Amino acid sequence: MSRDRTAGAQPSAVGATFEVETGPVAHGGHVVARHEGRVVFVRHALPGERVRVVVTEGHGGSRFFRADAVEILQAAPGRVDPPCPWAGRCGGCDFQHVALPVQRELKATVVREQLARLAGLEWDVEVEEVAGAPDGLGWRTRVRYTVDDGGRAGLHAHRSHLVVPVDRCRIAHPLVAAADVLDRTWEPGSSVEVVASASTGERLVLADQVPRGPAADRTLVEAAAGRRFRVSGSGFWQVHPGAAGALVTAVIDGLEPRAGESALDLYGGVGLFAAAIAERVGAGGRVTLVEADRGAVSDAVHNLAGLPGVRVEAGRVDRVLRALRLRRADLVVLDPPRAGAGRTVMEQITRIKARRIVYVACDPAALARDLAYAAEHGYRMSALRAFDLFPMTHHVECVATLVSASD
């Protein structure tokens, strides 16, 4: 949504309250309503409710308002009492007020809508539950806290720098909660990150003001898909305990690697997918992992040592692909950050003429945009799975398989 340049000249609407009937869910954790001809994005509501809202962003000239539902006048089926007492104040969760199966339906609706709107695809989407957090709580193995002016660690309010001094984050994994960050005093204005491995029980507390130790003190070990992976505290690893296993299975099912094939693992992190592919293509195959973060590159080299035919390329995917001048690869998996791969990289990838491309996406809008670029270059989606790796939030992970449109 673009910034409104007329904001200064208009009276603020923040704090205004009114009643609305809520319409469909929209990407970003809110539902859409209308008030006096204006679109209102409402948090803490469900589609089909009558609620009183208070405006949190907007002014007289705004095309839309953002608002919070503060009184539920008529509830929709699927509304529950939030299990977290900080719901509504802390910005971390969007769907604490929604029963878990309904959360997954809302996410499926958003994925469906993004695919239709941005990629022109009509697709039936089901969001799958992932083992490890049956009540949707206690799953988050990585939490970054911000320290307020009084030295108390807390979590940010929604779209705000305000620090909410929570007593405990209900979606944090027990290993994170046991780090006792919230009971201690920290340097005002700093941040503290707790990184835990649910698979090995290891934990790191990374604080701004604590002199950081040698590299070995800043890595932990994760176990997934029958292997162990070294992960730097600052490096990427999925935060839900069931995520790595579920995604490796989905990626391998999508690629169906055969002995002797060549594969690219783009945005490869510490080597989770590359290791699984390398095991399947065997000694006669080749896997090239591309990753930009130096710590992750060093972890990937460590984790993939001993697997024949694996190469790790450090650098941005677009630059590495350009430099490699790769003409052919049988398989490509890409797992870009939120913004997606973008047109240039999708063009580079489709030129490789892979038999299968598997796209792992944490933002359905970015996925849909990139699918549209791939379609311009002869690839169509043949399968899609979606996983609830972030219960209580609006986030959803998708794994799309692409094949040549002529197949």
Q: Can you give the binding site for ligand SAM, defined by CB under 6 A?
A: 236-237, 267-269, 272-273, 290-293, 296, 316-317, 335, 337
Contact residues for 145 (Cβ-Cβ < 8 A; gap 6+): 153, 154, 155, 181, 182, 191, 192, 193, 194
Q: Which letter does DSSP use for residue 275 in this model?
A: H
E strand map for 233-327: 262-266, 286-291, 310-314
Q: CB 267 → ligand SAM: shortest distance, Å?
A: 3
Between 267 and 387, CB nearer to ligand SAM: 267
Alpha-carbon Rg of the chain, whole angstroms? 22
Using CB atoms, what's the residue nearest to ligand SAM? 269
DSSP percent split of the chain into helix, strand, coil, nearest 5: 25, 35, 45
Q: Which two tokens stand for residue 401?
A: 């398989």
Phi, psi (rounded to 5 degrees) for 210: -85, 125
Query: Cα 75–80–86 angle (5° rounding)?
Result: 115
Nearer to ligand SAM by Cβ, of 245 and 285: the residue is 245
The minimum distance between CB 215 and ligand SAM, in angstroms, equals 17
| C-beta of 291 vs 330, nearer to ligand SAM | 291
- Shortest CB 59 distance to ligand SAM, Å: 36
The rounded distance, in Å, linking the Cα atoms of 151 and 232 is 27
Q: Is 362 annotated in the active site?
A: yes
Q: Shortest Cβ distance from residue 336 to ligand SAM (Å)?
A: 6
Q: What are residue 293's phi and psi, to 5 degrees?
A: -75, 125
Residue 267 or 373 with smaller CB distance to ligand SAM: 267
Which residue's CB is nearer to ligand SAM, number 129 or number 293?
A: 293
Task: Give the residue with the Cβ less far from ligand SAM, 207 or 296.
Answer: 296
Smallest gap from residue 63 Cβ to ligand SAM (A): 32
CB of 320 to ligand SAM, least distance (A): 7
The answer to whether residues 396 and 110 touch, using CB atoms and an 8 Å cutoff, is yes
Least spacing, CB of residue 293 vs ligand SAM, in Å: 4
Distance CA 153, CA 197 (A): 21
What distance in Å separates the CA atoms of residue 251 and residue 23, rounded to the nearest whole number? 35
* Residue among 84, 93, 169, 362 flagged as catalytic: 362
Spatial distance between the Cα atoms of 380 and 101, rounded to a whole number of angstroms: 30
Question: What span, in angstroms and rounded, lies between the C-alpha atoms of 271 and 302?
Answer: 9
Nearer to ligand SAM, 58 or 295 (CB): 295
Distance of CA 160 to CAs 89, 130, 157, 260, Å? 11, 30, 5, 51
- Structure-token match 């953002």, residue found: 66
Q: For residue 317, what are its two tokens?
A: 């995917």
Answer for the pair 27, 114: CB distance below 8 angstroms, yes or no. Answer: yes
Active site residues: 362
